[in-house]
Amino acid sequence: MRAITVTPVRRMSCSRQASSGGDAWMVLAELARGAVELFASTSADRIRECAYDDCTRLYLDTSLGGTRRWCDMRLCGNRAKVAEFRARHNASRAGAGTRTGTGTSARRARG
Ligand SMILES: [Zn+2]
């Protein structure tokens, strides 16, 4: 099990300057305010859900083409690409097994 490290909460004041201290409700209120501003902004159509099946994160797609698929390439992107590689690899191995079987039956038919 991984240890969880708790770091001091930084509170954003209304002037958007970070300050130490404050309570969790202030932080949550500031997060809610930021979310409302983001959803109301012109960037709202760039809010996406991560394409990795086991991830529920949302992210703001700031890529030039708007084609970003994962919340983080190092985590979900890598996991998805490994899963795609394994699926292709297993499919090709299954296909190779079928071809071997066909070759065997063809040899039997000839012999
Ligand atoms: Zn993700």
CA distance 43 to 105: 60
Same domain, yes or no, for 62 and 19?
no
Same domain, yes or no, for 98 and 62?
yes
CA distance 34 to 62: 17
Same domain, yes or no, for 100 and 56?
yes
Distance 58 CA to ligand 1 centre (A): 8
Same domain, yes or no, for 20 and 52?
no
Enumerate residues with CB within 5 Å of ligand 1 (an ion): 50, 52, 55, 57, 71, 76
CA distance 75 to 27: 26
Distance 107 CA to ligand 1 centre (A): 50
Distance 94 CA to ligand 1 centre (A): 30
Structure tokens at 4: 């969880």
Distance 97 CA to ligand 1 centre (A): 35
Structure tokens at 17: 């300057």
- Residue 96 has a pLDDT of 76
- Residue 107 has a pLDDT of 39
Same domain, yes or no, for 26 and 69?
no
Same domain, yes or no, for 19 and 35?
yes
Tally of structural domains, the chain: 2
CA distance 40 to 52: 26
pLDDT in tens, 16-62: 555 566 789 999 999 999 999 988 988 889 999 999 999 999 999 99
- Domain housing 19: 1-40
Residue that has been written with the tokens 């083409």 in this structure: 65
pLDDT in tens, 47-104: 999 999 999 999 999 999 999 999 999 999 999 999 999 999 999 888 876 554 444 4
- Residue 61 has a pLDDT of 94
Same domain, yes or no, for 24 and 9?
yes
Same domain, yes or no, for 69 and 105?
yes
- Residue 43 has a pLDDT of 86
Same domain, yes or no, for 19 and 64?
no
Residue that has been written with the tokens 């490994």 in this structure: 82
Same domain, yes or no, for 61 and 100?
yes
